[in-house]
Structure 1
Amino acid sequence: MRAETTGAGPGSGARAGAGTASGARRTGAVHRLGPVAEIPVGEARAYAVDGQQIAVFRLRGGGLRAVDAVCPHAGGPLADGQSDDAVVICPLHAHVFDLSTGESASGAEPLGCYPVGLAADGTLEVTV
């Protein structure tokens, strides 16, 4: 059984197709990434998934979020940016992105958001 902690489906507020300017394709495939314990609470990690980079954030409030790992403005590594339970700030030029919707409060192109959850064994799973 999979515990869904965020999603891009109806009612989630997330835009499934947001920020896919990189040409990323959506297949609906579930990818197992590794143990959630690899990401300390309040931090993020980037993963290579199906030919693209996805950052998974382990929120202080207990949730998970998955978004494009690369800032669309200048290619900054978003997993290295400062974040809280709502936003991440790109470490290069301080663009701010909502972790639930991918929208930028500072005018950058939006990020893609991906459903992410935990398998029964504690393994992170992301759907792309």
Structure 2
Amino acid sequence: MTRDMGWIDIGALDDVPLRGARLVKSRAGCIAVFRTGENEVFATSNTCLHRGGPLSEGIVHDRKVTCPLHNHVYSLETGEVQGADSGRIATYPIRIENGRLLLEAAAIAKADAA
């Protein structure tokens, strides 16, 4: 990982499979980086609110992920639980630049302070 003007290079876009995820460990905890079928990327907490399931092992569909343990569905855009359940997981600013994934360092630092 390298830092560049407030953003942390966490690897290549191609390191994350289409409709899949990869796990990034930070001081803020484990962050799941998701790639949709349309090549969009999102970063969220890796932990399901229901029973702590690993969201990075879930099913990515549209702009959502389904927890592999109990099928709770989260919006990758907002972190909001979908359906009848309520709650929100943390989301982190992420972007693609020249085929590289960049995660905003300030967002992770803010999560550390919380």
Interval of TM-score (by shorter of Structure 1 and Structure 2): 0.7 to 0.9
Residue 9 of structure 2 aligns with an amino acid whose one-letter code is R
Which one of 105, 110, 113 corresponds to residue 88 of structure 2?
Answer: 110
Label 1:108 to 1:76 Cα distance change in 2 as closer, same or farther (>3 A).
farther
Q: How many residues align?
A: 99
Pick 1 or 2: higher relative contact order, CA cutoff 8 A, min separation 6: 1
Shift of 1:119: 2.7
- Secondary structure in 1 aligned to 2:24? strand
Shift of 1:108: 4.4
Identity over aligned residues, as a percent?
Answer: 33
TM-score scaled to structure 2, two decimals? 0.78
Aligned counterparts, 1:1-128, within 5 A: 29-105=6-82, 106-120=84-98, 122-127=99-104, 128=107
Give unmatched runs, 5+ long, in structure 1. Answer: 1-28
- Runs (4+) of structure 1 exceeding 2 A deviation are none
Partner of 1:22: none
Contact 2:8–2:103 at 8 Å: present in 1 too? yes
Q: Which has the higher strand share?
A: 2
62-71 vs 45-54, which moves further: 45-54
Shift of 1:30: 2.3
Q: Which has the higher helix share?
A: 2
Give unmatched runs, 5+ long, in structure 2. Answer: 1-5, 108-114
TM-score scaled to structure 1, two decimals? 0.71
Shift of 1:112: 0.8
Shift of 1:115: 0.9
